[in-house]
Structure 1
Amino acid sequence: MSEESRSSTTRVFIALAPPDEAKDELARELGPAYAAYPRMRWNRIEDWHITLAFLGELPHSAVPLLREPLADLAAARGPVRLALRGGGHFDERVFWTGIDGDLEGLHRLTGEVRAVVKECGIDFPDRPLRPHLTLARTRRDDAASAVAAAEGLAAFSGRVWRADRLHLVGSDFGRGPGPIRYRDIEAWPFDGGGCGGG
């Protein structure tokens, strides 16, 4: 994609984010891994999220179409109770922590979010949800760090928390060199008392 076309698009996803207390708890648990594997590309704690739907590169004009339907969805349902649990890796490259708690509610919310996106006429890769929170990526010449870090996090069992906001997020704002950055385009509280517990 050319720089001109990239400048007219935004890489967008819809996500949940743990509260600060849960992130701080996990960050303390990761202390040894931060020290042992400094060459891994660690995500910033403030960027930790659970992706429900990755929409890819969208024209700027498409993003406003999502605001009202997602706001309505969030207003109609209750929070989801989740927890961060253990560690794992994808293809020895991506180090993550897993998600526990109301997984049925999480999958139901994901289905509702993706249905809203499709109703807005936005095409996106509708891959199966594999609930996780990405922590770091290895460099090409480092095949062992993600595996070892995942083993070190295997026994982690975090506190239960409420995912009480739905986030529409844009990534890599500025398109400059360095790690990917994320920014909320908008976020909406889950105001309903029914679906997802509370």
Structure 2
Amino acid sequence: MARHYFIAVKLPNEIKNILAEWKEMIEETTPFRSWVHKEDYHITLSFLGSAEERQLEKLKLDLQQLAEMSRFSLTLQGCHTFGVKEQPRVFWIGVEEERALFDLQKEVYTICEQNGFQLETRPYHPHITVARKWKGEEAFDKNQLPALLRRIFEVETVTLYETHIERMPKYEAIYEIYLQNTQA
């Protein structure tokens, strides 16, 4: 089976724990076919698909230039869906729009393209996937869910992940780039 890769913002453990606790509160009464494992929460910057080892090694070298970018803050912002509103395909948590995140994504996208990856051309919508495929009898209504408190967190790490469909958690961090701490 071909291995697949993607580049994402790694979430701090504190945020993963908050999302996991919220998920536990709603999981029993919110029937989705699959729920994302706490360790798999992330914000995708670029999905790469399959890659050869040589291509990955060159990509890792080129991604090092991200280490010159500064850390920045993001704020969790409510739950949303992709797909039909009453039977969503994807249930996700948003983050407030932050120019630094879009700049980071653009830089990652450019590096990936320069390394020969065929990337999505849809507009970038940063999100943290929580669950997939609604299977409830009733229509999904996000307004019935308890509010997820707004939390601010710092983006410190950009990570290259490998996907392992057969495992739980599914995503393995294989390379990390640490953004500059301008506070130091």
Q: How does 1:52-63 map to 2 (within 5 A)?
A: 52-63=45-56
Name the CA distance, whole Å, in 1 between partners of 2:30 and 2:70. Answer: 39
Q: Does 1:184 align with 2:173?
A: yes
3-state secondary structure, aligned to 2:81: strand
Shift of 1:46: 0.5
Closer, same or farther: CA 61–126 of 1 in aligned 2, 3 Å: farther
- C-alpha displacement at 1:164, in angstroms? 0.2
Provide the rounded CA distance (Å) in 2 between the counterparts of 1:25 and 1:49.
13
Counterpart of 2:6, as a letter, is: F
Which residue among 15, 29, 42 is the counterpart of 1:22? 15
Gap regions ≥5 residues in structure 1: none
The 1:170–1:144 alpha-carbon spacing in structure 2 relative to 1, beyond 3 Å, is: farther
Q: Quote the sequence identity (%).
A: 28
Q: Tell me the C-alpha RMSD between the 2 structures.
A: 2.5
- List alignment gaps of at least 5 residues for structure 2: none
Q: Across the two proteins, how many residue pairs are aligned to each other?
A: 180
> Which of the numbers 70, 76, 79 marks the counterpart of 2:71?
79
Runs (4+) of structure 1 moved beyond 6 Å? none
CA distance change for structure 1 residues 20 and 110 in 2, over 3 Å: closer, same or farther? same
**TM-score, normalising length: structure 2:** 0.85
CA spacing shift, 1:105–1:66, aligned 2, 3 Å: same
Alpha-carbon distance between aligned partners in 2 of 1:106 and 1:157, rounded to the nearest angstrom: 21
Instruction: Tell me the TM-score normalized by structure 1.
Output: 0.80
The residue matched to 1:167 in structure 2 has which SS? strand
- 1:95 aligned to 82, 86, 91, which one? 91
| Distance (whole Å) between structure 1 residues aligned to residue 174 and residue 106 of structure 2 | 21
Structure 2 CA distance for aligned equivalents of residues 72 and 192 of structure 1 = 15
